[in-house]
């Protein structure tokens, strides 16, 4: 089951309490204070982990709490600090505040970490408060409570190429042809109810990842249809394949449909309108009238967008499409090389004893 949204409640462990104690040793008169400090509570850490592709775990169980720190004891013994509680999330998970407005972390690389709820610090024992004027302090500190937060998790799939288009444009058929992905295929709208990922072999031990998204319709940016729920998944795609069915009886003007879908992407996020794309005329084997194809190709030439004809059923044009996509991705990679790992230290500064 594909789940790309979840709300969780996380609670860091409470810090242990400091101890009030005095030495009671034979032959040691007037033994001084020896109350130990409390241990630190454990923190909850989200870790981007390869191999996961859904937030289903967090939908089923949305509350997590780390262990508390141990209390201090006599003889200056510090309580045991609790271990952190790691929670594995899929690569591409975005952590938002409870309202879903502020982005707290974008876990886009394997191994990237974010402290979702920091554990409380342990309190000082009375040995910490001994001074030259107060040699027998009875003061101690209780540990601080762990951080309690409610967070919203959203998953944005990591794919090189995103397939977009109106319902029944042939996206699922195409991804099943060029990769091992097997989405449901039928001749009615909104057959695809959730995104699918497929790995395409380019040859020479090279590949790229394609995301098949549910069909978009007019008003998708406002919530119409199904595609609005998954528009965020194309935000990370470097290249968009806009699939057009030239034989769609419901869309006599294919060029107007292309412009309509471009407007939907722009209204959702303006930068998506500038994303590199390739127009793909699907179902070329079933098209009897070439006027529509010629109109789309003229539009592509005017807008300087590459246009290809393919048939996922017969395989016509598929090798050329895979090669064109690979070449475009190579150009994009040269234009914007992958930057060095500059992720922030999500764990923050090292913890210091309470009060010092």
Q: What are the domain boundaries of the chain?
A: 5-155, 161-335
3-state secondary structure of 2: coil
Distance in angstroms (rounded) separating the CA atoms of residues 200 and 210 = 7
Indicate whether 351 pLDDT > 60: no
Q: Which two three-digit tokens encode residue 329?
A: 């991705």
pLDDT tens-digit profile of 220-255? 444 444 455 667 778 888 899 988 887 766 666 788
Question: For residues 335 and 142, which has the higher predicted lDDT (pLDDT)?
Answer: 142
The helix (run of H) or strand (run of E) holding residue 257 is helix 254-268
**CATH of the domain spanning 5-155:** 2.70.210.12
Distance in angstroms (rounded) separating the CA atoms of residues 218 and 78 = 64
Indicate whether 142 pLDDT > 90: yes
Q: What is the DSSP string of 7-44?
A: EEEEEPPPPPPP---B---TT-TT--B-PPPPPPPPPE
pLDDT tens-digit profile of 152-172? 998 887 788 988 888 777 788
Question: For residues 296 and 27, which has the higher predicted lDDT (pLDDT)?
Answer: 296
Query: What is the CATH T-level fold of the domain 161-335, as seen in this structure?
Result: Rossmann fold (3.40.50)
pLDDT of residue 43: 97
pLDDT tens-digit profile of 99-121? 878 899 999 899 999 999 999 99
Instruction: Identify the residue whose tokens are 């107060």.
Output: 134
pLDDT tens-digit profile of 74-98? 999 999 999 999 999 989 899 999 8
Mean pLDDT (the chain) is 81
């Amino acid at each position: 089951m594909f789940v790309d949204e979840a709300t969780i409640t996380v609670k860091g462990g409470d810090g242990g309490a400091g101890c009030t104690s005095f030495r009671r040793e034979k032959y040691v008169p007037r033994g001084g204070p020896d109350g130990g400090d409390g241990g630190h509570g454990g923190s909850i850490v989200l870790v981007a982990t390869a191999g996961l592709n859904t937030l289903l775990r967090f939908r089923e169980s949305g509350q997590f709490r780390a262990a508390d720190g141990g209390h201090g004891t006599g003889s200056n013994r510090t309580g045991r600090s609790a271990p952190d509680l790691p929670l594995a999330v899929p690569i591409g998970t975005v952590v938002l505040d409870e309202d879903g407005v502020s982005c707290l972390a974008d876990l886009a690389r394997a191994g990237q970490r974010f402290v979702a709820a920091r554990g409380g610090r342990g309190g000082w024992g009375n040995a910490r408060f001994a001074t030259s004027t107060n040699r027998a302090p009875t003061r101690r500190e209780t540990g601080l409570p762990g951080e309690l937060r409610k967070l919203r998790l959203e998953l944005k799939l990591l794919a090189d190429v995103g397939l977009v288009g109106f319902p029944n444009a042939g996206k699922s058929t195409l991804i099943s042809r060029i990769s091992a992905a097997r989405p449901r295929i039928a001749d009615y709208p909104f057959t695809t109810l959730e995104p699918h990922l497929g790995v395409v072999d380019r040859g020479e031990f090279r590949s790229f990842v394609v995301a098949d998204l549910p069909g978009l319709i007019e008003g998708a940016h406002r919530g119409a249809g199904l595609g609005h729920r998954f528009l965020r998944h194309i935000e990370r795609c470097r290249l968009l394949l806009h699939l057009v069915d030239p034989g769609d009886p419901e869309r006599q003007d294919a060029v107007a449909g292309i412009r309509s879908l471009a407007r939907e992407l722009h209204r959702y996020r303006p930068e998506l309108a500038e994303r590199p794309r390739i127009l793909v005329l699907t179902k070329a084997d079933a098209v009897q009238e070439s006027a529509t194809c010629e109109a789309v190709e003229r539009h592509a030439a005017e807008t300087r967008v590459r246009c290809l004809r393919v048939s996922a059923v017969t395989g016509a044009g598929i090798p050329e499409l895979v090669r064109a996509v690979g070449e475009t991705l190579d150009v994009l990679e040269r234009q914007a090389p992958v930057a060095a790992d500059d992720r922030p230290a999500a764990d923050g500064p090292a913890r210091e004893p309470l009060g010092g």
